[in-house]
Structure 1
Amino acid sequence: MKVTSARAQTTADAGRDGPADPTEVIRLWPDSAPGGQGVSITPIVPERSTDPAFHDRYAQYTTDPILTVFRPERPNRSALLLIPGGGYRWAVLDKEGYDVARVFAASGTTCFVLRYRLPADGWEAGANAPLQDAQRAIRLIRSLAADYGLDPQKIGVLGASAGGHLAGLASARTDPTYEAVDAADALSLRPNLTVLMYPVATMADPHVHAGSRTHLLGDAPSPERVAAYSLERMDWRDAAPVFLVHAIDDTSVPVENSLQLLTTLKAAAVPTEAHLFQEGGHGFGVRLIQGKPAQVWPNLVRAWAGRLDFAL
């Protein structure tokens, strides 16, 4: 397993007052990501924040998917794969990745932030390229359980916005989307627990997040393609327990995304808990809701997971 320095793959921490980035990074694929013959892009990680107190970076045109590892001081044997959003146009590293990872690592969970490939970048798998990375990440974390002191049956996934859609795909689908590359791919590709924050769930009008659909499926996907990638249309039977959190005033990804999915999960008898907040908007992560009711969501997740004997 090749571990590379985060310095080669992220923007520098210089001039920032917040915590430094972890330097432990795991490459998902031992050689190169599958189906890259037609890919000719150059990865970028722009910084959007003008405030020295915090980062706000996004990863675009990723060619070498990685996991950035947040090791807790007192591990609780659970792991969390974090999948940030970005409308399938890019992946927001800090707000829904590193910032959230620090919160759960502080309570003992080993966190892995996924930097995944994007569907419109020329990968042979197209819309399944991000799912290949998510499935591979779950298997890889499970294969490394002994190295990190993890219970291989305590591997959770937390996805936000379009990352919530990707986490939902990884939770609902049972079919591998790539050919096995090593022994890790003999392991289960489904998580043991799923947290979806303001998820892009449906690909159908009228509640679809149009940008996510366009970047995932193209400008005019067929009804069959729309149905195949709508979480509320999938077979969730035997999926892991799900936690949903959404703000009712979300104008980017309407709360109906979570409500429709909740109906599906209930019908499939998936243990589910849902929390809807009156205010919070979209993409709030942890930093943007300080002082608002929705700031309690990490504690609600911990309490719910604790009742499932899954320490977070």
Structure 2
Amino acid sequence: MLVLSLAALLPTQAQQVIPLYSGAIPNAKAYAMKEIVNAEPGGRVQGYRKVSQPTLTIFLPKENPTGTGVVIYPGGGYVSESYNGEGVKIAETFVKHGIAAFVVKYRLPSDSIMVDKSIGPLQDAQQAIRLVRERAKEWQLQSDRIGIMGFSAGGHLASTAGTKFNTPVIENPGRVSLRPDFMILIYPVISMSETLAHQGSRTSLLGEKPSQELIERFSNERHVTDQTPPTYLTHTGDDKVVDVDNSIVFYEALRHHRVPAEMHLYPTGNHGFVLKLPTEEWMQPLFGWMKKNGWVQ
């Protein structure tokens, strides 16, 4: 493990890394947790553990901006974040298509640094949406073209943000809309139920023996409404880490509420299958979906 300066961690195509909060971090305890950075010697960051200082890494297209932005939450079972494979590489592909991207390094749930660890990641998810929408004009974005994207446990975080936008867990004095305009969920953890949950993610977020109320609150398939954003899902049938039924039950909930949704299921590839493919290859259907829905021209 290496500890590098912020300048050394800046991805080559990113314009800036900024703190997610301009003031005090909400729900935080005074505890000096040392962040762990997994990085190649002299190279880019691969991932993070023990995150306590959330940031937003900004990728803005230099040519042909579409006015659309995507806020990205990497996965990692709520114990780490796959910052490069499920963040930077995705953002770099988005900007090639004129789409701004914002990779969130969100706090990982910990009783050591949070008063309530179950809402810590969601606070950062909502704050990222608020910040991007507040600064949309500055970043040449249309404020009604701000979507979110999550992988694995980051997909749980994204689907939580996409179903709980009417219940803010952050200060929002300007009443900025926290509702994403669309969601992109890649082999997502959706449910915290006994039969569907990825147990590692559930334990990290909710504890060893979560109450039924907590399980219900964070089982996102149970909180879909007619106002849930249009959603794109992809998963493999042979996923041995996060059961494909997570995507299926969420798609069914969206369908029953007449929320526009598109799902791509592949027979094989297992968890993290997109990491083994060129981003341009697996993201082509996603770009098609975005174009069909008018988020890009």
Deviation at 1:302, TM superposition (A): 1.0
Q: Is the 8 A contact 1:164 1:198 kept in 2?
A: yes
TM-score, normalised with respect to structure 1? 0.87
Deviation at 1:105, TM superposition (A): 1.0
TM-score, normalised with respect to structure 2? 0.91
- Please point out which of 61, 64, 68 is paired with 1:78: 68
Deviation at 1:35, TM superposition (A): 2.0
- Please point out which of 6, 10, 17 is paired with 1:9: 6
The 3-state SS of whatever aligns with 1:300 is helix
Closer, same or farther: CA 206–56 of 1 in aligned 2, 3 Å: farther
Closer, same or farther: CA 179–158 of 1 in aligned 2, 3 Å: same
How many correspondences in the alignment?
Answer: 291
Note if 1:213 corresponds to 2:205. no
What residue ranges of structure 1 are gaps of 5+ in the alignment? 1-6, 14-18
Deviation at 1:115, TM superposition (A): 0.3
Task: Identify the residue that residue 183 of structure 2 maps to in structure 1.
Answer: 194
Percent of pairs with identical residues:
34
| Aligned residue identity for 1:125 | D
Note if 1:308 corresponds to 2:293. yes
Q: Whole-Å Cα distance in 1 between the matches of residues 267 and 45 of structure 2?
A: 25
- Please point out which of 91, 95, 103 is paired with 2:85: 95
State which drifts further: 250-259 or 115-124. Answer: 115-124
Q: Whole-Å Cα distance in 1 between the matches of residues 194 and 273 of structure 2?
A: 24
The 3-state SS of whatever aligns with 2:37 is coil
Question: 1:40-119 residue pairs with structure 2 within 5 A?
Answer: 40-47=32-39, 57-74=46-63, 75-119=65-109
Note if 1:299 corresponds to 2:284. yes
Q: Whole-Å Cα distance in 2 between the matches of residues 178 and 57 of structure 1?
A: 29
Deviation at 1:29, TM superposition (A): 0.6
The 3-state SS of whatever aligns with 1:57 is strand
Q: Is the 8 A contact 1:200 1:253 kept in 2?
A: yes
- Please point out which of 132, 137, 154 is paired with 2:123: 132
What whole-Å deviation, never above 9, does each CA across 1:19-72 have from its counterpart, x for those lacking one? 73625012111123112224331112123x69x9x8562112222211101111
Q: CA RMSD in A?
A: 2.1
Q: Is the 8 A contact 1:77 1:149 kept in 2?
A: yes
